[in-house]
Amino acid sequence: MKPRNILRDADALSRREILRLMAIGALTVSALPARAEKTPSGKGTARSVIQIWLSGGPTHLDTFDPKPEAGTEYMGPLRAIPTNVDGVQIGELLPLLAKQADKYSLLRGMTHGNNGHETAAYMVQTGWTPGGTLVHPCLSAVLTQRLIAAGSYKGLIPPYLVLTQPQGRFSEAGFLGQRCKPFATGGDPSQARFTVEGVVSKDLTPERQEARKTLLGQVDALAQAGATMPELAPAAASEREAWELILGPAGKVFDLGQEAKELRDKYGMNPFGQSCLAARRLVESGVPYITINFGGWDHHKQIFPALRQKLPQLDRGVASLLEDLASRGLLESTVVWVGGEFGRTPKVQPEAPWNGGRHHFGQAFSHLVAGGGFRGGSVIGATDKTGDTVKDRPIYPWDLIGSIYERLGLSPEATVPHPSGYAVRVLPPMEAKTPTGGRLKELV
């Protein structure tokens, strides 16, 4: 028997095969997770990830991969502008990011060829192609599982946090289940009070909270009478933790009022800008994975007026975040990852009902990565002169996610346990037929 092959293909094994293999001793449940990982864990320098998820599929031509030579048929009314890195241009609606280009790298070779929101979002965030028997977890959920299993994350704030609403498209945790799902804050960080679900109540003043807490302490008769009941111990411990977050110092991480007004304005006083600021505060307090869901990029119709609304928010938020992280020495340990599930058709559709729209485009799109050991100031991959195909250095979702795993010190060949007891690789094995451009060695 070759246990390694079994492990590699655990996903594809049928239940019966697993049972049979277990029965003949080829496969034991306890032996599975103990698999040695090839990449030494000391290699990664990233401690946190801020994922800015632009769901809906933002256009690549109007953001990170402009094609000024292609003309208005492709560019519409928008131009390209130079950045602070020689020879690198981005869309004109991103002037602040243009000044920070040395801090990030643009991945212009992103491709997977799928034009469905759900499937593409699944591919880009899990690194898997759907179709097997498993629903795989996102990178974020994998990281959460590893932290929980290792017992290495001790913070009161959940390790995987979403600002502010979870994405509806698919279950981020896949087969890993509830424990690896994100904690979604809810609320709006640009309001006077950022009412983080469960932490900051929208109705109760801190004084009333204190009074109620005292009352609860007085009336929990069973807790008092039953102090000797071991079954109640987890309840008592978790109640202490909960109050620390609600009324103690731990919850203050969400109090953006503690930041200078100038800095808040710089990030932009809108939900996205203030989410970026909240993300920085969370990274500072040691939260390993923060996703900012910034949706609304599915611009089939009248894309340019919409972009004039949205891109300045993206520009301010991300540029300020990068600058702020860098000035605090946090960028080296924090991966910032910006992108959506696909790009949009390079050729603008001018006629009704689209009136200047762009449609789903999985063949070529762009992402931005910065920090956590990814070098800035580079462009990886290139599309042709109209942005229709990747002509140089393709980057598939598994290439990108594998690279982020490596930045986090996690081998792309590592496994996570399926609830049924067998181990599943965090990324699909690279086979001869798997299209790949390789990991982002250029940026390391």
Of the pair 20, 308, the CB lying nearest another protein is at 20
Of the pair 209, 355, the CB lying nearest another protein is at 209
Smallest gap, in angstroms, from Cβ of residue 238 to another protein?
4
Of the pair 43, 169, the CB lying nearest another protein is at 169
Of the pair 246, 338, the CB lying nearest another protein is at 246
Residues sharing a CB contact under 8 Å with residue 245, sequence separation 6 or more, in sequence order: 156, 157, 198, 199, 251
- Between the CA of residue 36 and those of 74, 190, 313, what are the distances in Å? 49, 46, 44
What is the C-alpha separation between 243 and 198, in angstroms, rounded?
A: 10
| Terminal Cα distance for the chain, rounded | 37
Residues sharing a CB contact under 8 Å with residue 337, sequence separation 6 or more, in sequence order: 49, 50, 51, 52, 367, 368, 369, 404
Smallest gap, in angstroms, from Cβ of residue 227 to another protein?
9
Site residues for another protein per CB under 8 A: 14-16, 19-20, 22-24, 133, 135, 156, 158, 177-178, 181, 183, 186, 195, 197-199, 201-204, 208-209, 211-212, 215-216, 218-223, 225-226, 228-232, 234-239, 241-243, 245-246, 419-421
Largest CA distance in the chain: 78
Smallest gap, in angstroms, from Cβ of residue 229 to another protein?
6
Smallest gap, in angstroms, from Cβ of residue 55 to another protein?
16
What is the C-alpha separation between 128 and 401, in angstroms, rounded?
A: 10
Of the pair 200, 335, the CB lying nearest another protein is at 200
Smallest gap, in angstroms, from Cβ of residue 216 to another protein?
4
Smallest gap, in angstroms, from Cβ of residue 222 to another protein?
4
Of the pair 116, 438, the CB lying nearest another protein is at 116
Report yes or no: 94 and 106 within 8 Å, Cβ to Cβ: no
Smallest gap, in angstroms, from Cβ of residue 199 to another protein?
7
Smallest gap, in angstroms, from Cβ of residue 14 to another protein?
6
What is the C-alpha separation between 265 and 344, in angstroms, rounded?
A: 31
Smallest gap, in angstroms, from Cβ of residue 286 to another protein?
16
Of the pair 221, 432, the CB lying nearest another protein is at 221
- Full DSSP string of 77-142: T--EEE-SSTT-EEETT-HHHHTTTTTEEEEEEE------HHHHHHHHHHS--S-SS--PPPHHHH
Residue among 239, 126, 210 at smallest CA distance from 174: 126
Of the pair 40, 230, the CB lying nearest another protein is at 230
Residue among 175, 174, 178, 138 at smallest CA distance from 158: 178
Smallest gap, in angstroms, from Cβ of residue 413 to another protein?
25
Of the pair 235, 263, the CB lying nearest another protein is at 235
Of the pair 74, 289, the CB lying nearest another protein is at 289
Residue among 313, 308, 281 at smallest CA distance from 294: 313
| 102 CB-contact burial (10 Å; exposed 0-12 / middle 13-18 / buried 19+) | middle
Report yes or no: 315 and 268 within 8 Å, Cβ to Cβ: no
Q: Other C-beta atoms within 10 Å of 295: how many?
A: 16
